[in-house]
Amino acid sequence: MTRARALLRSFLPFLVGLPILVVLEAVTPPDFSLILVSVGVNVILAVSLNVVNGFTGQFSLGHAGFMAVGAYTAAKLTTALAGVELPFLPQVLSDQIFFALALSAAMAAAALAGVLVGMPSLRLRGDYLAIVTLGFGEIIRSVIENLKALGQATGLSGLPARTNLVWVGISVIATVVMAYRLATSTQGRALFAIREDEIAAEAMGVDTTGYKVRAFVISAAYAGLAGALISHAILLATPRMFTFVRSIEVVVMVVLGGLGSITGSVVAAALLTVALELLREFQAYRMVVYALLLIALMLLRPQGIFGTRELWNLALFRRLFRSPRLAAAATSGASPTEIRDDSTTGGAV
């Protein structure tokens, strides 16, 4: 009984999200759908990079490299399995199952790349780490550029169209849920400790190198997922999609939203993606306006839109969504501590 409830709680965000996504997929016109897909992909990228740059306080600039690993892994799998059909299922369903497989493989491959890159480079910190991760990102890209099997500079084209809003939506939910649950767990707190003070974290029993690598690997896995999704939406995987400019775009989203804030990453990723779409009309001035927007935001709010806070920590949100019953419970929860406080000071006197 409780087991069933725990399972329900664990998967609740997906159960709620799935029907909404199915409806969304059915009613969204195709060209608008592509914008939503790229919003979703950017959200996945920003939230996952936030685990390294925001939670752990390590500056990684190699996110696009892991995206590439994921994109190519999935692309190879889906093209190889394009004609294959599970005999007991209709073609559409069996394609979807293979796509799920490809997405998982993309995550696994990117995670593996994360281990390989993370192990040597996470001994460094700050600017040094940024440069090393940037270097590794470029290495991944140029390796792909030179591999015949991966189509070299022209990349892999004609990928089967597998990405839809349901897949993207589920992936976004999975990423946000992961980040949220990580942030509220003892593992996440170990990452925060590293961000706050590495020496103290180490002295308090946190294996700082181990946790940095773990954060890096988790982040890489989700970047791989994003890469797989975008390449199966635009039906193309080329090295040019994964240059370090792409990595920097993601860093901009994370910093803009507020380092360490999951809500911030989501909002900033969505805002910037949509802004870039809307600025399409202005053609030549597009990047200028975009850059000015960033400069203005950083001047006005250097800590990012949300700082390190989350939507649910903001007073306005609390006032809007907390029921009076919950508020009452919160105050009654506070009073025993006050009583305890009195007793301790009384004892000291």
Partner 1 sequence: MSAPLPLEAKDVTMRFGGLKALSTFNLVMQPGELVGLIGPNGAGKTTAFNALTGVYTPTEGEVRVSGIRVNAERPHDICVRGVARTFQNIRLFRQLTALDNVRIACHAGAKSGFFDALFLTAHHRSEEARILARAEEYLEVMGLSHRRDEISRNLPYGEQRRLEIARALATGPKVLCLDEPAAGMNAAEKIELMQLIRGIRDRFGIAILVIEHDMRLVMGVSERLLVLDHGVTIAQGKPDAVRKDPKVIEAYLGDAYLEEKRIALGSEGAER
Q: How far apart, in whole angstroms, are the C-alpha atoms of residue 124 and residue 254? A: 21
Q: Is 341 in the site for partner 1 (CB under 8 A)?
A: yes
Selected from 205, 284, 300, 325, the binder of partner 1 by CB under 8 A is: 205
Of 77-85, 206-214, 223-231, 281-289, the window that binds partner 1 (rule: CB under 8 A) is: 206-214
Residue 14 near partner 1 by CB under 8 A: no
Cβ-count burial of 294 within 10 angstroms (0-12 exposed, 13-18 middle, 19+ buried)? middle
- Between residues 64 and 191, which has the closer beta carbon with respect to partner 1? 191
Does 240 participate in binding partner 1 (rule CB under 8 A)?
no
DSSP per residue over 231-263, as a string? Answer: HTTTTEE-GGGGSHHHHHHHHHHHHHH-TT-HH
**Binding residue for partner 1 (CB under 8 A) from 151, 308, 310, 318?**
308
Choose the binding region for partner 1 from 95-103, 124-132, 207-215, 288-296 (rule: CB under 8 A): 207-215
| Residue 254 makes contact with partner 1 by CB under 8 A | no
Length of the chain: 349
Residue range at the interface with partner 1 (CB under 8 A); choices 3-11, 76-84, 113-121, 223-231: 3-11
Q: In the set 218, 220, 266, 270, which binds partner 1 (CB under 8 A)?
A: 218
Q: Binding to partner 1 by residue 333, rule CB under 8 A?
A: no
Q: Which ranges in 122-163 belong to alpha helices (H)? A: 126-146
Say which amino acid occupies 30: P
Distance of CA 219 to the CA centre of its chain: 7
Q: Closer to partner 1 by CB, 47 or 206: give it.
A: 206
Alpha-carbon distance 73 to 103, whole Å? 9
Query: At 156, is the secondary structure helix, strand, or coil?
Result: strand
Q: In whole angstroms, how far apart are CA 225 and each of 12, 40, 42, 117, 185?
A: 21, 11, 11, 18, 23
Number of residues that bind partner 1 (CB under 8 A): 38
Q: Report if residue 201 touches partner 1, rule: CB under 8 A.
A: yes
Question: Smallest gap, in angstroms, from Cβ of residue 12 to partner 1?
Answer: 10
The reply on whether position 310 binds partner 1 by CB under 8 A is: no
H/E element, 190: helix 186-196
Query: Contacts with partner 1 in 137-196 (CB under 8 A)?
Result: 177-178, 181-182, 185-190, 192-193, 196
Tally of CA atoms within 13 A in the half-sphere of 207 that contains its CB: 6
Interface positions with partner 1 (CB under 8 A):
3, 6, 9-10, 177-178, 181-182, 185-190, 192-193, 196-197, 199-208, 214, 218, 308, 337-338, 340-341, 344-345, 348
